[in-house]
């Protein structure tokens, strides 16, 4: 995982790299300074309308996994 994050950082993505683990139900925001967990149950891009609900992401994942 770290190699992939390093690739994004080398490509110029410095902020707002989100890692969402549907199994453990954890989310992280990755930057060149390391990992942070988001505050609350939403992941956002500050200063924009971009925001996702982690509960909705995990619900959709569960629905996808329950389909034959």
Measured CA to CA in angstroms, residue 56 lies from 13, 15, 59, 68 at distances of 25, 23, 5, 21
What is the average pLDDT across 6-18? 84
The residue ranges of DSSP E strands in 1-68, in sequence order, are 17-21, 26-31, 34-36, 42-44, 51-53
Per-residue pLDDT of 16-68, as tens digits, reads: 789 999 889 999 988 767 788 888 889 988 889 999 999 999 999 999 999 88
Residue 46: predicted pLDDT: 82
- 30/14 Cα distance (integer angstroms): 9
Residue 32: predicted pLDDT: 67
- 45/17 Cα distance (integer angstroms): 10
Counting the structural domains of the chain, the total is: 1
- What is the domain range of residue 44? 2-66
């Amino acid at each position: 995982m770290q190699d992939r994050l390093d690739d994004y950082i080398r490509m110029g993505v410095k902020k707002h790299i989100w890692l969402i683990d549907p199994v453990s139900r954890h989310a992280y925001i990755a930057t060149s300074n390391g990992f942070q967990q988001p505050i609350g149950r939403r992941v956002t891009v500050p200063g924009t309308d971009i925001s996702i609900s982690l509960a909705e992401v995990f619900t959709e994942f569960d629905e996808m996994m329950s389909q034959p």
